[in-house]
Structure 1
Amino acid sequence: MTGPAVVEGFAEFRGHRTWYRVTGPPASGRAPLVVLHGGPGCTHDYVLSFAELAALTGRQVIHYDQLGNGRSTHLRDRGADFWTVELFLAELDNLLVHLGVDGGYHLLGQSWGGMLGAEHAVRRPAGLRSLVIADSPASMPLWLAAAAGLRLGLPAEVEATLREHEAGGTTGSAEYATAMRVFYDRHVCRIPWPDEVARTFAAIDDDPTVYHTMNGPSEFHVVGTLRNWSIIDRLSRIAVPTLLISGRYDEATPAAVQPYADRIPDVRWQVFEESSHMPHVEEKDACLAAVAGFLGDR
């Protein structure tokens, strides 16, 4: 038995190209789901499990690689003034129009993708029908406070290694990467990394331009341009039903997620008890079922 049809292509954007992947049949009568990957600087690979929602819900599922990443145009020579939240909002708008779905669509954003999805939603676009914010902080100061708390639980020698390299500016070292992986195995993905997760991290290593510029050298050492980002004071403007997803061991801790629950008018929150930052990988079936149930017949 074959699965849903898959179509790939490119959308022209400001002289560059955004790669996209559409899973499922057109004209199903249900608004498509657009998936926003994390980072900034990841690729679509690690969130590809959401493509299974095409068969589960009878709607198209759209993935894409944000500019500078994956199969989209890479721009290694661009600096901090180029890589902005506004750039990625404009790219998303362009893709929605290119695919002809801007009149009715759902958004699902994971980690940074959820932050981007929230930024999109506070503008109240006419076509947005619902929003899923998965494993995302409502501000980077909250994210950094959460990371500091989680680091206290690391073995003392691991934390000492991290601090030594962060202070010395040697976060590109193999020793730092080994220590960093201890944190990741606890709070990013608690199961052996499947191929799609490994591919995304390999892609960051191959071209870390966006990740290092906007985030920093690791998930918990955020020194990039997003370090002061917050959407807390604007969350009441989100006017569509919203589902929050997080894992019990998530680096997006409850304190980092709580403002979404407090300030979005129509919101619900599901915590996956055996997951960290990737319930869609760690507890895939349960996570997909939760999203499918939330989308319903919308």
Structure 2
Amino acid sequence: MSIKEGYIEVTGGNVWYELHGESTNHTPVIVLHGGPGSSFYSMQGIRILAKDRPVIFYDQLGCGKSDRPTDPSLWKLDRFVEELRQIRDALSLKDFHILGHSWGTTLAAAYYLSHPQGVKSVIFSSPCLSAPLWAEDQKENRLQLPLEVQKKLKTNEENGTTKSDEYKEATKIFNKHFVCRLDPYPEFLKKGAHYRNPEVYNIMWGPSEFHVTGNLRDFDCTSRLKDFEVPTLYTCGRYDEATPKSTMFFRSLTPNGKSHVFENSAHMPYLEEPEEYIRVIGEFLREVDSND
């Protein structure tokens, strides 16, 4: 299987990309990783889809192998949408599928709603399409944690001490419940921690998954999900912080919406149930292509 990699100039710097597979009769899929400020690193297993079609990964500006400029004005949704458009143009993508995960679904939605041309389908994997609704869901999720953990989270947030070791340890317990339930936690994920950029995450989202204080805190595109005119797949884990309840709500607002819940996963089904994840995503993409 061929692999091509390189850099593309975008607003603010250069982003690194990797293209797996060769041109076939099947439409390419471009993968939008989570974060903000994470990288494609944890999603590299999705390259298996390249046996059917070209698969394009890239590290968004500020993280992974891409440039890390220090200008905080770059960390806005509109610039990331423009970044994706610049990547599409540089790679001459006429028609393509979008697979977004977590924050990548926010980016996917914003991109499609402003640049629908050429997008054949959208996959919202563990969607965050309403930051206020996400925040409400995490309030409910936190109630499932041990009382002592809940207290530590609340106290540190009230005191503005979210960088404390106590808060970080309590956050790890939340993550074991709702982000990645694999035990032991995968070693390769620990090795990839340096690809993250906490500054981007803090500016755009906040100090943790469940304490939303960044510039995305008011993002909500639910009123526009009716405008999606392409096949749309919503997926999440049964124990996902992107809750099945909200995921099904988003699907109900989408004319061509389908859904799938990964029964043994939290927020990372591509690691927690990799074979099932590839099966579901692959079948959806093949079905869309076959209906052309």
Provide TM-score, normalisation by structure 1: 0.92
Q: 1:69 aligns with which of 60, 63, 66?
A: 63
Contact 1:214 1:225 in 2 (8 A): yes
Match of 2:21 in 1: 24
Match of 2:166 in 1: 175
Match of 1:120 in 2: 111
Q: Is 2:88 the partner of 1:92?
A: no
Contact 1:124 1:239 in 2 (8 A): no
Q: 2:247 aligns with which of 235, 257, 260?
A: 257
Amino acid at match of 2:80: F
- The CA distance in 1 between the partners of 2:191 and 2:78, in whole Å, is 27
Contact 2:235 2:247 in 1 (8 A): no
Q: How does 1:113-152 map to 2 (within 5 A)?
A: 113-123=104-114, 125-152=116-143
Cα deviation 1:86-129 (Å, max 9, x = unaligned)? 1000000000111111x111100000101111112223522111
Q: 1:8 aligns with which of 5, 8, 17?
A: 5
Q: Structure 1: any 5+ residue segments left out of the alignment?
A: none
Match of 1:227 in 2: 217
Aligned residues: 287
Cα deviation 1:8-32 (Å, max 9, x = unaligned)? 100011351011011112x212111
Deviation at 1:284, TM superposition (A): 0.5
Amino acid at match of 1:131: V
Deviation at 1:138, TM superposition (A): 2.3
Q: Is 2:194 the partner of 1:197?
A: no
Contact 2:244 2:261 in 1 (8 A): no
Amino acid at match of 1:241: P
Provide TM-score, normalisation by structure 2: 0.94
- The CA distance in 2 between the partners of 1:294 and 1:139, in whole Å, is 24
Match of 2:204 in 1: 214
Match of 2:32 in 1: 36
Amino acid at match of 1:33: V
Alpha-carbon distance change, 34 to 199 in structure 1, aligned in 2, over 3 angstroms: farther
Q: Is 2:285 the partner of 1:295?
A: yes
Amino acid at match of 1:139: S
- The CA distance in 1 between the partners of 2:57 and 2:86, in whole Å, is 14
- The CA distance in 1 between the partners of 2:42 and 2:5, in whole Å, is 17
- The CA distance in 2 between the partners of 1:157 and 1:258, in whole Å, is 32
Contact 1:141 1:229 in 2 (8 A): yes
- The CA distance in 1 between the partners of 2:132 and 2:12, in whole Å, is 34
Q: Secondary structure at the match of 1:269?
A: strand
Match of 2:274 in 1: 284
Cα deviation 1:233-263 (Å, max 9, x = unaligned)? 1111111101111000000113332342111
